[in-house]
Structure 1
Amino acid sequence: MAILASFFLLLGWISLNAILSVVAIPLRADFTEGSLYTLSPGVRAMLQSLEEPVRIDFYYSQDAAKDIPVISNHAMRVQEFLNELVRVSDGRVEVKTIDPQPYSEGEDAAKGAGIAPITADGAGRQLMLGLVVSGATDRREGIPYLNPAEEAYLEYDISRAIISVSRQTRARVALITSMPMDSSFEPRSQQMTPPWQILAQLRTLFDVEVVAANAEKLPAKFDVLVIAHPKALGEPLLRAIDAYAVAGGRMLIFLDPYCESDAQASGPGGFGAGGGASDLGNLPAAWGIQWNPGKVVADRKYAQRVRARSEGGLATIEYVAWLMLSKDAILNKDPAFGVLQTVVMLSAGSLQKTEGSTLEMTPLIESSADSMIIDGSKLGSFADPAALLREFKPDNQRHVIGARFAGQVKSAYPTDAAGAAAPASIVVIADADLLRNEAWIQEERVGALSLGWRTFADNGSLLVNAVEQLCGKNALLSLKSRGASQRPFDVVRELQRQAEDRYRKKEEELKARIAQTQTRINELQKQKAPNQMLILTTEQQAQLQAAQSEVSDARKELRQVQFSLREEVESLGHRLMLLNVVAWPIVVAIFALAFGLRRNFWRRKVAI
């Protein structure tokens, strides 16, 4: 009876799934970690508010990727996500899946849309996995390659593209800066200097209007206000900025405690020695944002290595005030910042909320715990990297260098407040030098011929991503990165790391023992008479045999470690397979058996 009950329970479950796959019954449940198959509320609202239809062409080389699980599984995940967009949008989003077979019209269309083929294996096999989003106008946004490693940002990337093509015009950015970012006339050369690459890149994507420091008001229409190292701003402009923030403005602000771009003198490595701090008046404090002009974050873990003078002359030294921040320092849950790999900062500061602040603060970039706060007066053209390193004493705190502040801000000019306040979104980065060309990009030249620009850090992407996110609807501001559908075997990886650590340790011991043995042999060789240079003494032969035996034993130990690594991983793999294939089905069968017995018991009880 229990077996029959289990059979009918399984049959009912299969039948229910079959019915739901055919009949459009709005019955859904997402039990995945991070709700991978459920759209964020902001994205749902954005889709349902679309005024014009949006089309998504999904290019996927299905045949070429069928035996590459990483690609095929990710493509399935993308297709499921696109289907969910179509369902939620009530037909406002249309998806067309195209298999760009070699020499086909689909391949030509993909290449024309900017979808570049990638090499899938060592045999030169190529495939495509990308998409193009088109709006009612001629605006198009493409994602040339949907990288499986960036699955966590899938919802953000596609939502950003949909919002971009649904705009009737390009987003507008107002820029306030005291830095020489724009093109200007150079008296010495009697020529115009080119704009910084960061500004040139911004202008390719947005309509940028530069606001002078002595302006009395902000532009009439713009989407985002970018403020980079403000100085000597007039009070009318400060009041206009304050009013914009109180009204729910969206701002990206670069506040520098010690801006090395202020002057032309060079410090270690050739950057400006400057030293002037940004000045935004009392606006940050009134809004609830605390930062300390003149105080710089020094970090040994992320310190750049520079050529500087030391007691023994020029040497390569860690300059703890110049940071090359890796992914460990960047919040990976924020889609605009999580994709960044490296960010270079020069004498960056720290950020906090003021006491009693009503803003919600989300750290975006942090120092390591191997850091401390130093005085900016120790930097500049007279900076001594060696002295900073000697005096370095970490405070074991991770200092916030970049953060997002959200919520209603309190006006610095309460008497000017007019109209209803609204939640603002303000991204603050405690460094402005990161915008300089020298901090993130280098021009490749052959003589007077320019071959283009090569980036070595993601500073440009930081600016563009943050502006793009702030320009978007509230859907983008509320989005966090999702989990990945492919779950790594963390225990297996930990076992691998432990065994590899043991292997490396043994390898180091082996090299040290070989070096010591070679040193002993060399010393014995020096003791020989000149007429016996090619003959080993009995003592040398014994030493050599001992060394060879020592090396042989060490290599056996290394092989044993490698064997143990494979054995541990394979053993764990077998246990996991047994758990998934045998144990869980047995648990389900026991549950069904218990359910059947309980049901049979109650039936008999009722019958009695």
Structure 2
Amino acid sequence: MITSSKLYGVLGLVLAGILFLGVNLFSHEALRGARVDVTDNDLYTLSAGSKRIAAGIQEPVTLRLYFSESLSEETSGLRDYAQRVRELLAEYVRAGAGGIVLQVVDPEPFSDDEEKAVAYGLESAPVPGSPDRIFFGLVGTNTTDGQEIIPFFDPRRETSLEYDVTKLVYKLAHPDKRVVGLMSSLPLDGAPQMPFGAAPQQEPWYITRHLREFFDVRSVEPTAQEIPADVKVLVLVHPKNLPDPTLYALDQFVLRGGNLIVFVDPLCEADQPMQDPSNPFAGMQEPKGSNLGRLFDAWGIELVADSVVADRKAAIMVNVRGARGQEVVPFVTYLQIGPDHLDRQDVVTADLGDLKLGMAGALQKKEGAGVEFTPLIETSDEARLEEESRLRFFPQPQDLLKDYAPQGRFTLAARLRGRFATAFPEGKPAAPPEPEGEPSPPEEEAEPEADAEAEVEPLQEAADQCNVIVVADADMLSDRFWVSVQDFLGTQVAYVSSQNADFLVYAIENLSGSNDLLGIPSRKEFSRPFQRVQELQQAAQERFQASAAQFQEQLRETQNKLRNLRFEEQGSGELVLSPEQRAEIRKLQEDEVRLQRELRNVQLELNKDIDRLGRTMKVINIALIPALVCLAAVGLGLGRGRRRKPR
């Protein structure tokens, strides 16, 4: 017979189950957009900048994620990363509030979807043990036929994942070709031949042609007194002896939100002043350095004066004529900077390989300055500073190696961020006087009202964060440091030797976005290593290395002794080992056996420690936590039972 208490218990369980299902169904519908990211590094949360860019989309943007789901069974790491990418893209859809549409496509082999993926320009990776290939890329389109792609989501770029996707969305939402200003005292656009042989004709630098493939490049004269309003990013190369009105224009351009990339140089080899036929050595004595001293002072940085960076560890090898003919020696002021000395957390330099620089200077933050100074390119710790005067007249590379004494690490390029103050607190400087002997242009009657409207109140301080990238070398943009252009069947073909041009393009891409795009931080990696396991492995590795080092020392001593022993030759011509040699060999063999046994013991103890840790974690997860929940439930039940007992 079923007692009333049992019946109530069964009914309570049924009601609890119905309530559980009802709560889940209700939360699924009512709380569909509610999310809580409890990961340590907010892996599933967009930055504030990405959310603002997604929310500000005016015309719909469609994102198509191509991932070969059916071929990814053997690539669990890529499959897991694809799930994280899909979840991150879903966050963009939520932030876009209807402005972003996500489509996930599985391009099966020989399907129309695979053909479309190839037509879009997506890349594929081989499937282990199969002729098929995996697609894992993103195609973005807008309503004006604009298209942007991420050819392949490389897990090694996971820290830049959010930036790459946000940049794609931003470019689709702002499809107009970005205007980039180019100001330089060097002939980047080429120069005609000067009369009387003062200067030969100069061809345009290839970097200018390269930039015009990506941007709408506008030339700005180095004497300009204002920066065009449609220029959002200005590339300033070798600002030599700029007049104060031009410096003031640059100052106000940055304070009003313009982004600047400046290449200064303590000794610019590409700077070839006009020659005086009557005095050929006069041009060699002309200064070849450039600086933005007044603006740098206001921003809180400086270019170390009259100094060129030398680095024997990063030196480029060159052929020179020595006492024994042609020799290959390091030229310590010509540098090849590898990925190890680039900021891998900054989106501008994260994916770059080698960069080549020549006669570069050193940048440093002034003491007490409030600017955020982030080195992008650095030397090794074996660099030093050479006096510019020593290098002006073509020194021999061998001479620079004499008495070389390293001084430490130096910064060759840096990103500056901060709310800068003006370098012209007294206001706009007066225009330079007209050269004598030249008639002044006729003055036109100005309209007072128009002049009043055109006059802009000078800023004393920036209202928002300023963004500037400073590089202490202008020669890195010249052809010989990054590209060789050759004629092939009537067509000019460029052979790239370094990623100098990529550095500039990436910097412009980065700075030409909105401040929201500039403020996106690098994401943390998803992988969460077992730190305790790594500590155990590190400890075991240290024990192994100590044992191996001890054995190697014993082995070297034994081999030295063996070389000192003499072989006795018999009449048959064969070599017969002496008893001492046999004893040494037996000892060596015993050492080998002992090392193998010791290594096995170290590995065995390591495995035991890891297994013990694993069992402990399983006990905690499988038994301890449920046991604590059960104890809490029992305690709660006992407490209720006591309260129900009649008094």
Asked if these proteins are the same fold (TM beyond 0.5), I'd say yes
Tell me: higher relative CO, structure 1 or 2? Use CA pairs within 8 A at least 6 residues apart: 1
Q: For residues 399-418 of structure 1, what are the structure 2 equivalents within 5 Å?
A: 399-416=410-427, 418=457
Query: Does structure 1 residue 239 correspond to structure 2 residue 248?
Result: yes
How far has the Cα of 1:313 moved from its partner? 6.3
How far has the Cα of 1:19 moved from its partner? 5.9
* 1: CA distance, partners of 2:132 / 2:543: 34
Partner of 2:7: none
Partner of 2:5: none
Is the CA contact 1:283–1:412 (under 8 Å) kept in the aligned structure 2? yes
Query: Does structure 1 residue 144 correspond to structure 2 residue 148?
Result: no
Partner of 1:163: 170
Is the CA contact 1:362–1:404 (under 8 Å) kept in the aligned structure 2? yes
Query: Does structure 1 residue 58 correspond to structure 2 residue 65?
Result: yes
Is the CA contact 2:358–2:476 (under 8 Å) kept in the aligned structure 1? yes
Partner of 2:304: 292
How far has the Cα of 1:419 moved from its partner? 4.6
Seen in structure 2, the aligned counterparts of structure 1 residues 208 and 274 have a Cα distance that, compared at 3 Å, is farther
Q: Structure 1, residues 515-564: CA drift from partner, whole Å, max 9, x if none?
A: 7578658xx58x97xx979343x5x5557656755764565466557646
Seen in structure 2, the aligned counterparts of structure 1 residues 447 and 41 have a Cα distance that, compared at 3 Å, is closer
In our comparison, the structure showing a higher alpha carbon Rg is 2
Q: Structure 1, residues 59-79: CA drift from partner, whole Å, max 9, x if none?
A: 111111122111101111110
* 2: CA distance, partners of 1:554 / 1:111: 59
Q: Secondary structure at the match of 1:337?
A: coil
How far has the Cα of 1:174 moved from its partner? 0.3
Is the CA contact 2:74–2:128 (under 8 Å) kept in the aligned structure 1? no
Seen in structure 2, the aligned counterparts of structure 1 residues 57 and 371 have a Cα distance that, compared at 3 Å, is same
Query: Does structure 1 residue 276 correspond to structure 2 residue 279?
Result: no
Seen in structure 2, the aligned counterparts of structure 1 residues 122 and 430 have a Cα distance that, compared at 3 Å, is farther
Query: Does structure 1 residue 256 correspond to structure 2 residue 265?
Result: yes
Structure 1: gaps spanning 5 or more residues: 1-7, 265-271
* 2: CA distance, partners of 1:393 / 1:10: 78
Instruction: Specify the code of the residue in structure 1 equivalent to 2:364.
Output: Q
Q: Secondary structure at the match of 2:349?
A: helix
* 2: CA distance, partners of 1:320 / 1:229: 22
Is the CA contact 2:339–2:354 (under 8 Å) kept in the aligned structure 1? yes
CA RMSD of aligned residues (A): 4.0
Q: Select 1:379's aligned residue among 391, 401, 407.
A: 391
Q: Secondary structure at the match of 2:352?
A: coil
Q: For residues 44-443 of structure 1, what are the structure 2 equivalents within 5 Å?
A: 44-121=51-128, 123-184=130-191, 195-263=204-272, 276-308=288-320, 315-379=327-391, 382-396=394-408, 398-416=409-427, 418-420=457-459, 421-423=462-464, 424-442=466-484
How far has the Cα of 1:255 moved from its partner? 1.7
Instruction: Specify the code of the residue in structure 2 equivalent to 1:460.
Output: A
Seen in structure 2, the aligned counterparts of structure 1 residues 288 and 89 have a Cα distance that, compared at 3 Å, is same
How far has the Cα of 1:426 moved from its partner? 0.9
* 1: CA distance, partners of 2:483 / 2:554: 42
Instruction: Specify the code of the residue in structure 2 equivalent to 1:218.
Output: I
Q: Structure 1, residues 402-455: CA drift from partner, whole Å, max 9, x if none?
A: 222222222222233625543321111222222233333455x69877794444
Partner of 1:269: none
How far has the Cα of 1:92 moved from its partner? 0.6
Q: Structure 1, residues 102-135: CA drift from partner, whole Å, max 9, x if none?
A: 1111011101100122223365441111011112
Partner of 1:4: none
* 1: CA distance, partners of 2:587 / 2:347: 53
Is the CA contact 2:147–2:172 (under 8 Å) kept in the aligned structure 1? yes
* 1: CA distance, partners of 2:598 / 2:203: 58
Instruction: Specify the code of the residue in structure 1 equivalent to 2:522.
Output: S
Q: Structure 1, residues 248-278: CA drift from partner, whole Å, max 9, x if none?
A: 22111112223233359xxxxxxx9998221
Partner of 2:525: 484
* 1: CA distance, partners of 2:156 / 2:383: 30
Is the CA contact 1:258–1:293 (under 8 Å) kept in the aligned structure 2? no
Partner of 1:33: 40
Q: Select 1:534's aligned residue among 573, 576, 592.
A: 573
Give the aligned length.
584
Partner of 1:3: none
Q: Secondary structure at the match of 2:389?
A: helix
* 1: CA distance, partners of 2:265 / 2:419: 24
* 2: CA distance, partners of 1:26 / 1:199: 48
Partner of 2:502: 461
* 2: CA distance, partners of 1:475 / 1:331: 21
Instruction: Specify the code of the residue in structure 2 equivalent to 1:414.
Output: P
How far has the Cα of 1:10 moved from its partner? 13
* 1: CA distance, partners of 2:610 / 2:348: 37
Q: Secondary structure at the match of 1:107?
A: helix
Q: Secondary structure at the match of 1:457?
A: coil
Aligned-pair identity in percent equals: 28
* 1: CA distance, partners of 2:415 / 2:341: 15
Q: Secondary structure at the match of 2:426?
A: helix
Once structures 1 and 2 are overlaid, which stretch shifts more, 116-125 or 48-57? 116-125
Is the CA contact 1:324–1:345 (under 8 Å) kept in the aligned structure 2? yes
Q: Select 1:474's aligned residue among 485, 503, 515.
A: 515
Instruction: Specify the code of the residue in structure 1 equivalent to 2:520.
Output: L
* 2: CA distance, partners of 1:413 / 1:436: 33
Instruction: Specify the code of the residue in structure 2 equivalent to 1:477.
Output: L
Partner of 2:448: none
Q: Secondary structure at the match of 1:335?
A: coil
Q: Structure 1, residues 140-165: CA drift from partner, whole Å, max 9, x if none?
A: 11111110111111100010011112
* 1: CA distance, partners of 2:338 / 2:555: 31
* 1: CA distance, partners of 2:633 / 2:375: 53
* 2: CA distance, partners of 1:471 / 1:582: 54
Instruction: Specify the code of the residue in structure 2 equivalent to 1:130.
Output: G
How far has the Cα of 1:507 moved from its partner? 9.7
Seen in structure 2, the aligned counterparts of structure 1 residues 316 and 150 have a Cα distance that, compared at 3 Å, is same
Is the CA contact 2:187–2:202 (under 8 Å) kept in the aligned structure 1? no
Query: Does structure 1 residue 577 correspond to structure 2 residue 589?
Result: no
Q: Secondary structure at the match of 1:59?
A: strand
Partner of 1:267: none
Q: Structure 1, residues 181-203: CA drift from partner, whole Å, max 9, x if none?
A: 33455799x99865434333321
Instruction: Specify the code of the residue in structure 2 equivalent to 1:75.
Output: A
Is the CA contact 1:130–1:145 (under 8 Å) kept in the aligned structure 2? yes
Q: Structure 1, residues 370-410: CA drift from partner, whole Å, max 9, x if none?
A: 433332334355434445444333345x4333222222222
Seen in structure 2, the aligned counterparts of structure 1 residues 113 and 508 have a Cα distance that, compared at 3 Å, is farther
Partner of 2:454: none
Q: Secondary structure at the match of 1:131?
A: strand
* 1: CA distance, partners of 2:210 / 2:601: 52
Is the CA contact 1:260–1:274 (under 8 Å) kept in the aligned structure 2? no
- TM-score normalised by L of structure 1: 0.83
Q: Secondary structure at the match of 1:282?
A: helix
